[in-house]
A and B are shown apart, each in its own frame.
Chain A
Amino acid sequence: MFNKILTRARTMSPWVLHFDCGSCNGCDIEVLACLTPVYDVERFGMINVGNPMHADVFLVTGTVNHRNKKVLRNLYDQIPDPKVVVAIGACGLTGGIFREAYNVVGGVDKIIPVDVYVPGCPAKPEAIIDGVVLGLEKLKK
């Protein structure tokens, strides 16, 4: 009974933490565009929070590099379970156009487990919202 209420609360108002992990800003501004009136994810109860300890969904954009992989791991560890990780953009998936650069480790999944992959360069706001909704399905289970 208690778990049921908890799951419902979690999926009806997922709080989102966004971390730019070495992207070109393209995906970041699309993530922010999701919050603004035209796409307005707040109608689904999503709020962008700054504190990882408040978050349920972790949105990561961009490639991982040797300097920020520690930061990424750190943020991931601070998010309480259960959590969903959404990797956004071609760089977040595999490294994209930067994959051959010397400071690039590769996709986000090399450092932390990823639940949903959202392709695109940059991914459109519709696709990002879709990705988060897919992630919530996973949170229900």
Chain B
Amino acid sequence: MSKTIIPFGPQHPVLPEPVHLKLTLEDEVITEAIPAFGFVHRGLEKLAEIRDFHQMIYVVERICGICSMIHAMCYCQGIEELMGIEVPPRARFLRVIWSELHRIHSHLLWLGLFADSFGFESLFMQCWKIREKILDIDEATTGNRIIISVCVIGGMRKDISPEHVNWILSELKDVEREIKRLETTIMTDYTVMKRTVGKGVLTGKQAYELGLVGPTLRASGIAQDMRMLGYAAFNEINFEPVVETDGDCYARCKVRFRETLQSIDLIRQAIAKLPEGELAVKAKGRPEGEVISRVEQPRGEVFYYIKANGKKNLERLRVRTPTFANVPALLAMLPGMWLSDVPVIVLSIDPCISCTER
């Protein structure tokens, strides 16, 4: 059988972001997939040499627009550790609330795009319709829909007022009800099952050896979630990682669906325990030393290495994002699959290219 080489991307209707995959096919079966990156590379880590460590918050937020608040939180936690700042309890709980809001909106966005990847247009529309409610909460509490810019070194810039709390709870109730209405479609619909069950299977051992993170790893039966470290206020609320065992696209879909509902529960817990007090402590002095900071993004573990030498600018900032860790999974899953399954499998790891390439 002769081989065909098909380029997938960089501009492709199913991908919102440019990534290029060179697919070698025999008939319609993929034998090899080679990724090409760099279409979104901007060189943000180097900006640490120009911008001071306070200004870098706004740069790291723009590593990825979807989970911007979580990037900022991770960076701030690292700098706070270097400077020995104790974050006030109210700020820690607010960080939980906003980061979980981001997780819900990212997972709903993914569920929609995933449905779109196998042509289920109406499910895409439904997921994005629910997502708008979460963005409304972001807009009402912070003033912007996507990049909310609430984290500063030492705490938070914005507060959630008591009137907003009640409104958020009632909105979350609506969101939960509407997500549960989608449950039968996502979990049992013939179209969804046909396109996702048994596609791109990774066993727990494979997933562990490839060094995967986040929902992709948890769908293979390994309970690893950075929220178990208890950063921000996760040590004070009940949290159990969501785990599935099948390791196929369907299991990844289930993990993210259940995490969406779990995040709503986490926000409720955080709001119930939200302590009074100040929002931020003043950050005095400059950071010195090196530190590793890890938090759980919607896509998995994000890892920040920060090296500072007591100057205004950081000496080195290194970010390792979840998609970078999950790309090897993609290359392990694709060979042996049909060309028509490529969009489903590519989206099942929830690729965030602008995170990966920065």
Contacts and interface: CB of A to CB of B under 8 A. Distances in A.
A30 interface: yes
Given A23-B354, A36-B132, A29 B39 contact: no
B57 to A, nearest CB: 11
Nearest to A26: B65
Question: Interface extent on A, as a size class?
Answer: 35 or more
Given A32-B128, A102-B46, A22 B40 contact: yes
A63 B65 CA distance: 14
Contacts of A52: 11
A17 B287 CA distance: 45
A31 B236 CA distance: 38
A103 interface: yes
A24 B41 contact: no
Contacts of A71: 10-11, 18, 39
A33 B42 contact: no
Contacts of A104: 42-43
B12 A24 contact: no
A121 B146 CA distance: 9
Contacts of A103: 41-43
B145 interface: yes
Interface in B143-159: 145-147
Contact of A37 (B17, B65, B128): B128
A104 B63 CA distance: 14
A36 B146 contact: no
B13 interface: yes
A25 B145 CA distance: 13
A34 to B, nearest CB: 10
A56 interface: no
Interface string A86-122: 0000000000011011111000000000000000011
Contacts of A20: 16-18, 40, 354
Contacts of B66: 25-26, 29
A38 interface: yes
Interface string A121-135: 110100000000000
10 cross-chain pairs, A with B, having the tightest CB-CB distances, nearest first: A26-B65, A50-B13, A36-B128, A25-B65, A101-B43, A24-B65, A24-B62, A103-B43, A68-B39, A37-B129
9 contacts: A22-B39, A23-B65, A24-B62, A24-B354, A26-B62, A28-B17, A37-B128, A63-B42, A104-B43
Interface of B: 10-13, 16-18, 38-44, 46-47, 50, 58-59, 62-66, 68, 109, 112, 124-125, 128-129, 132, 135, 145-147, 352, 354
